[in-house]
Amino acid sequence: MSTDTARRLVESMRELLWERGYTGTSPKAVLQRAGAGQGSMYHHFSGKADLARSAIDATAAEMRAKADAELSGPGPALDRLAAYLRRERDVLRGCPIGGLTQDAELMADPALRAPVTETLAWLRARLAALLTEAVACGELAPALDPEATAAALVATLQGGYVLARAQGSPEPFDQAVAGVLGLLSAFGG
C-alpha cells in the first residue's frame, strides 16, 4: 500500500463525514469512495475511528488555516471580521466540523470529539482576539465583551447553517450574518 492510498482514504472519509456523519459512514463506503482494496484501511489505520480522527484532524487544520489567513489579513479588524463572516461557504452542506456535533456516536468518543471541541474553541478564541484588537484600535466601544461576542459569532454561524439547511436556502444564513454585523455596528467606537 502506498501513502497515496492512505491519503485517498482520509479524503474519502472527510467527504463522507460531511455528507453522512460518522454513524452513517461504513468502512465499505470509505473503501469504495477511495477506490481502495478491502484490507487497505486496516493496513494504514487501526480501524474506522482511527481513520475518522485523521480525517477530522485534516478538516480542522484546513479550516483553521483558512480562517486564520482571512482573519490575519491586512486592513481594519472589523473589515477582516466582516469578510470572514461573509466569505463564500457551501451553506446548505453545513459546517464540516460543527455538523459533527450532531452525531451522537462521534461525540461519545472522546478521541473523535476532541478535534471538534478544540476547533470550535480555537475559532472562539481567534475571533475574541480580533474583537479585542478592534476595541483597542477604537473600531468598537470598550463596553463590548470580546469573549462573549466571539461565542455569539460562532453560535450565529452554526445556527445560520442549521436555519439554511432547514429552509433549503442560504438566505437565513446570510440574514444571520447581516444581523450580527448590524449588532456589532451598534458598538462602533
Q: What value does the mean pLDDT of the chain take?
A: 94
Q: Residues 100-137: pLDDT tens digits?
A: 999 999 999 999 999 999 999 999 999 999 999 999 99
Q: Residues 11-47: pLDDT tens digits?
A: 999 999 999 999 999 999 999 999 998 888 888 999 9
Burial class (CB in 10 A: 0-12, 13-18, 19+), 55: buried
- Dist. CA 121–CA 135, nearest whole Å: 21
pTM value is 0.92
Residues 6 or more apart from 174 whose CB is under 8 A from it? 160
Grid coordinates standing for 70? 482571512
Predicted confidence (pLDDT) at residue 2 exceeds the cutoff of 60: no
Q: Residues 60-70: pLDDT tens digits?
A: 999 999 999 99
Domain ranges, ordered by start, for the chain: 56-185
56-185: CATH topology is Tetracycline Repressor; domain 2 (1.10.357)
The angle subtended at Cα 28 by Cα 26 and Cα 32, nearest 5°, is 120
φ/ψ of 140, rounded to 5, equals -125, 150
pLDDT band of 189, cuts 50, 70, 90: low
Percentage, residues of the chain above pLDDT 70: 98
